[in-house]
Structure 1
Amino acid sequence: MARKDTASVAGWLYARMRTWWRADLRSELWGLLPRIDSSNRPQTNPLAQALKDNANLRWNMKVLASALAEQAYATGRAGPLAPIPAEPQRVGLRSKLCCQADIEAAWARHWCGQLHLTPLYRRGVWELCFVLQAVWEAGLLAEGKSGLGFAVGQEPLPAYLASRGVSVLATDMGGVVDPARLWRGVAGHAAQIGDLARPPYLEGVPFWKTGAFRAMDMAAIPEDLENGFDFCWSVGAFGHLGSVEAGLVFVETSLKSLKPGGIAVHTSEFNLDGSGESTDNWPTVLFRTQHLDDLAGRLAAKGHELLAVDLDAGSGLFDRFIDHPPYEHDPHPALGYPSAPHLKLSVDGFPMTSIGLIIRKVAA
């Protein structure tokens, strides 16, 4: 927006703000925002003029970013042409932020192959790969090991882990709608064990041979699950418990489910904004460095260890692109949907990405 246009809008708003304190006039603002008035004529007020092309400009940005992503996929660094390593590779994974280089790395591409996923520039893909890499490097992706999944929705991890011989207990809200799954656009939550069966991973072996499902509120872990698992995990869930504090309490409490020396692997939303502002007391909260420091201190006080956190957000082109609504699960009604990079995105106006945390419970 040009400086002259900005000044015009600001002056126009100031002139009206002096009268908007009256209830009968406050509705004037909302009536001026639509592109057309009650007679279907274009709005001519400065605010409407300034905003009328906002959605189209945002759409154009997504189309251009999608074209750049398609060019990158054509090189085979990621996407459908990227080679899929047959074996996992140890990289010394630690707690870290999602970044473009990870999607292009052999370790993530291997797990994409295992999960029958295309290594796209999407943080949801990264989160699944992060969990499996952490579990594998800990030596726990093996027959006879046990894992507890929180708020699993219909993610593929329970079935894949079961296919590897892991004794899996997958938990979710059952018949209760999980706001975390609604926010992420996932097609439903797990209400029964049948929701977790994924034939490509199980190859005809019923999930319940090595896995089980239990309806459970992740914020209220039952005592009978304490000290029973080699590892636990959650994907994009603990940032949707209503507050930052509730999320931190969950992460800390989740360690009660682990055997001594077990690991917890959790992913959530991390605020990349440098202003110091962030969301809290809201369905989706964004964590900041100070929250991680607080969590590390709480864990250390009990003898647990949060593996060192790498806060490098990456230097790739798609690490600097902030995706914005409409997202892929909320497509444009008329235009073909561009598959824009989705490693970083805007949530309530804040740039954010995924963070993966690896925590080791104190040994007995």
Structure 2
Amino acid sequence: AELGEAPLPVHHRKQWEFCAMARYLKDLGVVGPGKRGLGFAVGREPLASWFVKQGASVVVSDMPQSGAFAGEWNSTAQHAAEIESTWRKGVVDKDLYAKRASFIPVDMNHIPAELLRGTFDFTWSSSSLEHVGTCELGLEFFLNAMSALKPGGIALHTTELLISHEHAAADNPHLCFFSKAMFEELAEDLALEGHELVGGPIDFTVGVRDARDFDSAPFTLQREHIALSDVGHVHTSILIIARRGSGTPTPDDQLTPEQRHRRERRLARQSPNATQSATRDPAVRLPAQHVGLRDFSASSMLAHTGDFSNPVVRRMLGRMGEPIANCHRRQWEFAAITNALEQRGLLLTGNIGFGVFAAEDGMTTYMAGKGARIAILTPEPVTIYRPNLGVKKSDVTSRVHVELTTQSPVEVLTALDTQRKFDFIYSVTATATFRDCQSMLRFMHLSATKVRPGGTAAFALTISILGAGSDGPERCELTYGALRQFALDMQKLGFNTTVPSPAVGWVTDADDVDQPPYAAVDHIVYAHAAQ
């Protein structure tokens, strides 16, 4: 009622978000006379007005009018472009609000430096993290915004938690749903930066309502709901509260490779010279020649993912001794990567390649038969010679070195001599070997940096068809948004990174998949190092 959300009762998760944040801030003693708050993507919500009524002063922000989705938020009366539209009538006097509140447009992926000087007692956002482009960018915003707080200051952010799948995560340019594993990773990173969660570990217990009691499409603003179902994934609101620490972050040399990689990526994107993210809106992208991306459908090799009708693929399958009649996606991976490396002139005599967790296929025999030397990393013995390809066994055994290892691919690549460069690196069927998607992306990044100028790193991996991804522990399914962000990051390092189109060639129906709900297909990403 104080927030102007009457008449009651209202059973809507947005009201729960507003009330929970107001209650916790008041209980923690950080909202009141003399206190200063900073709100992100406030739109026309009631919290800013309520904070002013309690005696605090606030800086409120929303995406710039030029933002990719500003028009859409305007159409639903949820976007603010100036201070007056953030005032909630009936909560606080308009003149008092104008005196204690100020407005600034803010892109949450690029928070202005003047807001990150540790001058605020509290920061907040309501259902905003999921709209910044990808799940990773949303969690990075949480960490970056901690710098706005004074030591001991409180950050409160609500967002979307998937409750139907513990390890799944939907990662779309406009709306992301976070998994339990992602929030556990956020808690870990907060601690590494010297901060702490308020109240101890995150409680993922779903509220008193039946988990099956959710609203489904078509959604309306008027209909009450506690949880929603999108493409078979049920999600609800979660509130994360963190306190800024007064200590120093954990030194880089004490971090694991995955932790260090997450920090490096976040800090690189904070840089004033960082390229503006193109993941915010798939319909508004930088020119391909500028960001170094080429849609996979423009490739001379394949028209779509998993296209067995392509004559190039069929010829290569025959050369590799793979029965075309099987039409398995793994066969397509073998043929596509081998053909791409051969077209780029990387399978020449004397060239050196590195195969990570290579499978028992004709790929290795074919490459060795062309004259390339290959080091293969694998956790278990594999048969690398195919006798039906017209290649001498002695050529394969002399040119291919197989090394068994219990280390992860990231650990192996990290330990390699930094001066050692391969002509090509490839990975096929390795998605089941990674603990989480961030480890896989770290592996891809490290692999690309280990190829010589003009060399290529090629990765066959699993990507979700319907927008959801699986984040371990048994396998990882990346999202298209995560791959686009990887491409942008690699472009900054001088790579021409090819990311597949979200169009799926061989899946003609959303139900034409094996083992739902993780509807996924294999894609290939190439990172070509500049000459």
Matches within 5 A, 1:178-257: 179=69, 182=72, 186-225=76-115, 226-257=117-148
Tell whether the 8 Å contact from 1:119 to 1:125 is kept in structure 2 after alignment.
no
Q: Secondary structure at the match of 2:123?
A: strand
Aligned-residue Cα RMSD (Å) equals 2.2
- Tell me how far 1:166 sits from its aligned partner: 0.6
- Tell me how far 1:340 sits from its aligned partner: 4.8
Q: Secondary structure at the match of 1:201?
A: coil
Q: Which residue of 1 aligns with 2:66?
A: 176
1:285 aligned residue (151, 176, 179): 176
Q: Secondary structure at the match of 2:236?
A: strand
Any idea what the Cα deviations from partners look like across 1:130-184, whole Å, max 9, x if unmatched? Answer: 1111211110121110000000111111112112211100001232356489479
| One-letter amino acid matched to 2:208 | S
Matches within 5 A, 1:46-61: none
- Tell me how far 1:188 sits from its aligned partner: 3.6
Q: Which residue of 2 aligns with 1:327?
A: 219
Q: Which moved more, 1:266-275 or 1:199-208?
A: 199-208
1:362 aligned residue (230, 239, 245): 245
| One-letter amino acid matched to 2:245 | V
Q: Secondary structure at the match of 1:251?
A: helix
Q: Which residue of 1 aligns with 2:44?
A: 154
Count residues in correspondence: 243
Q: Secondary structure at the match of 1:278?
A: strand
- Tell me how far 1:341 sits from its aligned partner: 4.1
| One-letter amino acid matched to 1:267 | T
Aligned CA distance change for structure 1 residues 348 and 240 (closer, same or farther; 3 Å): farther
- Tell me how far 1:302 sits from its aligned partner: 1.4
| One-letter amino acid matched to 1:268 | T
Structure 2 unmatched ranges of 5 or more: 248-531
Q: Which moved more, 1:205-214 or 1:295-304?
A: 205-214
Q: Which residue of 1 aligns with 2:405?
A: none
* CA distance in 2 between partners of 1:246 and 1:326 (Å): 28
Q: Does 1:262 align with 2:153?
A: yes
Q: Which residue of 2 aligns with 1:311?
A: 204
- Tell me how far 1:206 sits from its aligned partner: 3.7
Aligned CA distance change for structure 1 residues 124 and 140 (closer, same or farther; 3 Å): same
Tell whether the 8 Å contact from 1:142 to 1:164 is kept in structure 2 after alignment.
yes
- Tell me how far 1:316 sits from its aligned partner: 2.7
Q: Which has the higher contact order (CA 8 A, sep 6+)?
A: 1
Q: Which residue of 1 aligns with 2:236?
A: 353
Tell whether the 8 Å contact from 1:196 to 1:207 is kept in structure 2 after alignment.
no
Q: Which residue of 1 aligns with 2:32?
A: 142
Tell whether the 8 Å contact from 1:180 to 1:236 is kept in structure 2 after alignment.
no
1:273 aligned residue (151, 164, 168): 164
* CA distance in 1 between partners of 2:169 and 2:118 (Å): 35
Q: Which residue of 2 aligns with 1:133?
A: 23
| One-letter amino acid matched to 2:49 | A
Matches within 5 A, 1:22-61: none
Matches within 5 A, 1:101-140: 112-117=1-6, 118-140=8-30
- Tell me how far 1:270 sits from its aligned partner: 0.5
Q: Which residue of 1 aligns with 2:227?
A: 344
Percent identity over the alignment is 35
| One-letter amino acid matched to 1:348 | V
Work out which of the two has the higher radius of gyration on C-alpha atoms and give 1 or 2: 2
Tell whether the 8 Å contact from 2:70 to 2:79 is kept in structure 1 after alignment.
no
| One-letter amino acid matched to 1:301 | L
Q: Which residue of 1 aligns with 2:361?
A: none
TM-score by structure 2 length?
0.43
Q: Which has the higher strand share?
A: 2
- Tell me how far 1:276 sits from its aligned partner: 3.5
Any idea what the Cα deviations from partners look like across 1:8-45, whole Å, max 9, x if unmatched? Answer: xxxxxxxxxxxxxxxxxxxxxxxxxxxxxxxxxxxxxx
Tell whether the 8 Å contact from 2:44 to 2:87 is kept in structure 1 after alignment.
no
